[in-house]
Protein backbone atom coordinates (compact mmCIF):
# COMPACT_ATOMS: atom_id res chain seq x y z
CA UNK A 1 0.00 0.00 0.00
CA UNK A 2 1.46 3.36 -0.97
CA UNK A 3 0.93 6.59 0.83
CA UNK A 4 0.36 9.84 -1.04
CA UNK A 5 2.85 12.44 0.05
CA UNK A 6 0.16 14.94 0.91
CA UNK A 7 -2.64 12.65 2.00
CA UNK A 8 -3.53 10.81 5.16
CA UNK A 9 -2.47 7.24 5.76
CA UNK A 10 -5.29 5.03 4.53
CA UNK A 11 -6.95 2.60 6.88
CA UNK A 12 -5.92 -0.97 6.14
CA UNK A 13 -8.89 -2.89 4.79
CA UNK A 14 -9.33 -6.40 6.08
CA UNK A 15 -12.03 -8.52 4.51
CA UNK A 16 -14.76 -7.90 7.06
CA UNK A 17 -14.06 -4.15 7.16
CA UNK A 18 -14.16 -4.13 10.96
CA UNK A 19 -11.84 -1.67 12.63
CA UNK A 20 -10.56 -1.01 16.10
CA UNK A 21 -10.58 2.62 17.27
CA UNK A 22 -8.35 4.07 19.97
CA UNK A 23 -7.96 7.57 21.36
CA UNK A 24 -5.26 8.99 23.62
CA UNK A 25 -7.01 10.90 26.39
CA UNK A 26 -3.75 12.27 27.75
CA UNK A 27 -3.17 14.32 24.59
CA UNK A 28 -6.85 15.03 23.76
CA UNK A 29 -7.63 18.76 23.51
CA UNK A 30 -11.39 18.24 23.65
CA UNK A 31 -11.92 20.00 20.33
CA UNK A 32 -14.92 17.78 19.69
CA UNK A 33 -14.48 17.23 15.96
CA UNK A 34 -14.69 13.45 16.40
CA UNK A 35 -18.01 13.78 18.25
CA UNK A 36 -19.38 15.96 15.45
CA UNK A 37 -18.07 13.67 12.72
CA UNK A 38 -18.86 10.20 14.10
CA UNK A 39 -21.26 10.63 17.04
CA UNK A 40 -22.05 6.91 17.16
CA UNK A 41 -18.42 6.13 17.92
CA UNK A 42 -17.07 9.10 19.88
CA UNK A 43 -18.40 11.02 22.85
CA UNK A 44 -17.09 13.52 25.40
CA UNK A 45 -17.23 12.54 29.03
CA UNK A 46 -19.12 15.00 31.20
CA UNK A 47 -16.47 15.24 33.90
CA UNK A 48 -13.37 16.07 31.94
CA UNK A 49 -14.57 16.97 28.45
CA UNK A 50 -12.20 14.43 26.97
CA UNK A 51 -12.88 11.90 24.25
CA UNK A 52 -14.42 8.54 25.09
CA UNK A 53 -14.92 5.70 22.66
CA UNK A 54 -18.48 4.40 22.56
CA UNK A 55 -17.80 1.67 20.03
CA UNK A 56 -14.22 0.36 19.98
CA UNK A 57 -14.98 -1.94 17.05
CA UNK A 58 -17.72 -0.10 15.18
CA UNK A 59 -19.75 -1.61 12.38
CA UNK A 60 -18.31 -1.31 8.88
CA UNK A 61 -20.71 1.45 7.83
CA UNK A 62 -19.12 3.81 10.40
CA UNK A 63 -15.73 3.36 8.84
CA UNK A 64 -15.68 6.41 6.58
CA UNK A 65 -16.78 8.74 9.36
CA UNK A 66 -14.27 7.24 11.79
CA UNK A 67 -11.51 7.66 9.24
CA UNK A 68 -12.55 11.28 8.66
CA UNK A 69 -12.56 11.88 12.43
CA UNK A 70 -9.08 10.37 12.69
CA UNK A 71 -7.79 12.62 9.95
CA UNK A 72 -9.48 15.79 11.25
CA UNK A 73 -8.52 15.45 14.91
CA UNK A 74 -6.41 18.55 15.52
CA UNK A 75 -4.53 16.79 18.32
CA UNK A 76 -3.93 13.63 16.26
CA UNK A 77 -5.00 11.36 19.13
CA UNK A 78 -7.25 8.94 17.22
CA UNK A 79 -5.84 5.74 15.76
CA UNK A 80 -7.62 3.19 13.61
CA UNK A 81 -6.46 -0.33 12.85
CA UNK A 82 -8.01 -3.53 11.54
CA UNK A 83 -10.03 -5.31 14.22
Partner 1 sequence: MSVDLEDAPSFPVPRTVPYQPPESYRQISSRGPLNKVTLWDKRRVWLVTGYAQGRRLLSDPKLSADRTRQEYPTMAPHLGAQAARKLVLVGEDPPIHDIHRRLLNPEFSLKKARALAPRIQELVDGLIDDMLAAGPTADLVQSYALPIPSLVMSELVGVPYEDHKFFQAATAGVMQAREPAETEAAGAQLAQYLGTLVERNLTEPGDGVIGRLVHYVQAGTITAAELTQLSMVLMIAGLETTSSMIPLGVVTLFAHPEQLAAFISGEVPVQTAVEELLRYLAVTDFAAVRWVTDDIEIDDVVIRAGDGIVVSSTMVNRDESVHADPHVFDISRGNRQHLTFGYGIHQCLGQNLARLQLETAYRTLFARIPGLRLAVPFEDLRMRSSGTMQGLESLPVTW
Coil, strand, or helix at residue 64? helix
Query: Which of 2, 7, 46, 61 touches partner 1 by CB under 8 A?
Result: 7
- What backbone phi and psi angles, to 5 degrees, belong to 42? -115, 150
Query: What is the C-alpha separation between 51 and 61, in angstroms, rounded?
Result: 21
6 binds partner 1 (CB under 8 A): yes
The sign of the CA dihedral 76, 36, 63, 51 is: positive
Residue 31 makes contact with partner 1 by CB under 8 A:
yes
With beta carbons less than 8 A apart as the criterion, state whether 50 and 77 touch: no
Q: Could you say which of 36, 54, 56, 60 contacts partner 1 (CB under 8 A)?
A: 36
Of 7 and 16, CB closest to partner 1:
7
Q: Footprint of partner 1 on residues 60-79 (CB under 8 A)?
A: 68, 71-77
Which spans of this chain sit near partner 1 (rule: CB under 8 A)? Answer: 5-8, 26-33, 36-37, 48-50, 68, 71-77
Amino acid sequence: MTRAADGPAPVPSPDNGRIRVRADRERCIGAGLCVLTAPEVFEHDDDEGLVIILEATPAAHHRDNVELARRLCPAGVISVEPA
